[in-house]
């Protein structure tokens, strides 16, 4: 895989863990895709903190060889804490530090002003990382380089936004940069890998970063390119049995999605597949023939963001579907043996007790109509930067962290420790209990990788469902235990 060449220098890329929990071994796709051009000219080394217990020693050895730079990707939350640890190591070694990913792209000026950060790559990194590395290899400062932020005379300075890439013009994803076997996991449908077939989403949900990061656009790899990638991966790793597409909105173009399904049906190495992100409005447009084609192709599961059972809240956050459409989609998926997993949120500005009641009622109605579903969790809302609701939160008195370190603790698992002015402390505790008991009702939820937890949750599910249905959280012993465990894993 990959041609022989004499590299012009080494780029070290670091993928931080988000918690100390065990089981997250999805491919570091952000770093892999960002390396697609750079890997053609430079030696790229990816260090994945989630899988490497001795990551400090590995990074130290790489820094001793004086790489061109050390790059860090991070989403808002714990990844920032871990990313700063490795950045401090690079700073002591005199190695330039580059940050990218969602958080740095949404708050580039604040990020690049940190003393452990030299440059920020804003947005997609494929072209920018390669050009930045070329400048560094020639001893040049990247002044005016599009997509790059740096400090100039003590002030954050941007070279200007870079246009979004043509995803189908990109080189093949350089999977050779990682030990792929380490990322093949055992799941419900056999041994699987996580892949992306598109970027962005055409929807305008007010809590989502996509409108800022992907500029409100949905861009997809062609069906042929997606199928070629599956063929390439299964040829080198014949143990693969299942593909999880982690797209934000896989079915935004139904024709393309159907081409992929038909292509999977014809593959010599058959795999089943599932989709992480789909929208109700796309699913409702699927007729019986379409759903039958999906079933024939081995399509097993789809994750759908519902967010609320209250039409008033759905309209307020611009989810762009009706509760009646959701009910219809749920029943139709049941008829074709396709398992839906739903996700919900709580605590958005203006939400009432009645709205929460409607959400829980819809969850159990969905379960009644389709016993195969996982009705998901009700996760408390926190206002992440780059979203419309973040701006609304500021208007309501929310005071965001003023430092990169402060954003490291800004995550929903620390919900009780975040100052959210429109939600009282008492109500925040209620919403946290709502979340924990919803977790206990879903022992087979997609993101739960602990078999021990799943086994315990199955035994506790009847009690959890009883509490959830009645919103009865007095003396919430189980929720408090889960909260302590969650805090310990931060």
The domains located in the chain, with CATH, are 10-156 (3.40.50.2300), 179-379 (3.80.30.20)
With a cut of 50, say whether residue 22 has pLDDT above it: no
pLDDT confidence tier of residue 487, bands split at 50, 70 and 90:
low
pLDDT at 18: 86
pLDDT confidence tier of residue 463, bands split at 50, 70 and 90:
confident
Name the percent of the chain lying above pLDDT 90: 80
Q: Which residue has the tokens 């580039």?
A: 108
Name the percent of the chain lying above pLDDT 70: 94
User: pLDDT, tens digit, for every residue of 162-191?
Assistant: 999 999 999 999 999 999 999 999 888 999
pLDDT at 141: 87
With a cut of 90, say whether residue 483 has pLDDT above it: no
pLDDT at 2: 42
- Cβ-Cβ contacts under 8 Å for 197 (sequence gap 6 or more): 220, 221, 226, 245, 247, 250, 260
pLDDT at 1: 40
With a cut of 90, say whether residue 99 has pLDDT above it: yes
With a cut of 60, say whether residue 264 has pLDDT above it: yes
With a cut of 50, say whether residue 401 has pLDDT above it: yes
Q: What angle do CA 265, 267, 273 make, to 5 degrees?
A: 60
Average pLDDT over residues 293-307: 97
Average pLDDT over residues 226-245: 97
Asked whether the beta carbons of 384 and 397 are under 8 A apart, the reply is no
With a cut of 70, say whether residue 254 has pLDDT above it: yes
User: pLDDT, tens digit, for every residue of 328-341?
Assistant: 999 999 999 999 99
Average pLDDT over residues 3-32: 79
pLDDT at 376: 79
């Amino acid at each position: 895989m990959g041609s022989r060449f004499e590299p012009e220098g080494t780029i070290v890329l670091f993928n931080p863990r988000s918690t100390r929990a065990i089981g997250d071994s999805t491919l570091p796709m952000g770093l892999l895709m960002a390396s697609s051009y750079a890997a053609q000219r430079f030696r790229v080394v990816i260090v994945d903190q989630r899988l490497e217990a001795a990551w400090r020693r590995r990074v130290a050895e790489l820094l001793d060889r004086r790489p061109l730079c050390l790059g860090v990707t991070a989403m808002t939350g714990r990844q920032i804490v871990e990313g700063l640890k490795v950045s401090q190591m690079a700073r002591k070694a005199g190695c330039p530090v580059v940050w990218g990913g969602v958080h740095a792209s949404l708050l580039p000026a604040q990020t690049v002003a940190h003393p452990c950060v030299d440059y920020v790559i804003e947005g997609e990194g494929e072209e920018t990382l390669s050009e930045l590395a070329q400048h560094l290899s020639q001893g040049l400062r990247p002044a005016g380089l599009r997509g790059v932020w740096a400090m100039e005379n003590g002030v954050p300075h941007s070279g200007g936004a870079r246009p979004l890439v043509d995803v189908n013009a990109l080189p093949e994803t350089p999977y050779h940069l990682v030990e792929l076997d380490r990322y093949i996991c055992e799941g419900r449908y056999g041994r699987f890998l996580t892949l992306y077939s598109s970027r962005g989403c055409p929807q305008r949900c007010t809590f989502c970063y996509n409108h800022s990061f992907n500029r409100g656009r949905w861009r997809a790899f062609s069906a042929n390119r997606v199928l070629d990638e599956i063929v390439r991966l299964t040829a080198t790793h014949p143990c693969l049995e299942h593909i999880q597409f982690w797209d934000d909105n896989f079915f935004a173009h139904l024709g393309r999605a159907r081409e992929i399904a038909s292509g999977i049906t014809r593959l010599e190495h058959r795999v089943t597949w599932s989709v992480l992100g789909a929208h109700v409005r796309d699913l409702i447009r699927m007729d019986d023939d379409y759903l039958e084609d999906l079933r024939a192709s081995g399509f097993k599961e789809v994750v759908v963001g519902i967010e609320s059972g209250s039409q008033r809240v759905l309209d307020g956050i611009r989810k762009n579907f009706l509760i009646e459409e959701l009910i219809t989609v749920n029943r139709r998926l049941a008829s074709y043996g396709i398992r839906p997993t739903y996700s919900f949120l709580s605590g958005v500005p203006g939400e009432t007790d009645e709205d929460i009641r409607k959400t829980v009622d819809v969850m159990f109605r969905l379960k009644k109509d389709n016993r195969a579903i996982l009705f998901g969790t009700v996760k408390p809302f926190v206002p992440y930067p780059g979203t419309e609701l973040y701006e609304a939160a500021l208007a309501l008195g929310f005071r965001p962290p003023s430092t990169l370190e402060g954003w490291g603790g800004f995550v929903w698992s620390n919900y009780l420790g975040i100052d959210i002015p429109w939600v009282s402390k008492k109500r925040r505790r209620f919403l946290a209990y709502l979340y924990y008991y919803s977790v206990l009702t879903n022992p087979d939820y997609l993101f739960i990788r602990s078999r021990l937890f799943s086994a315990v949750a199955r035994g506790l599910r009847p009690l959890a469902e009883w509490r959830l249905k009645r919103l009865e959280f007095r003396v919430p012993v189980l929720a408090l235990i889960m909260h302590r465990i969650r805090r310990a894993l931060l």
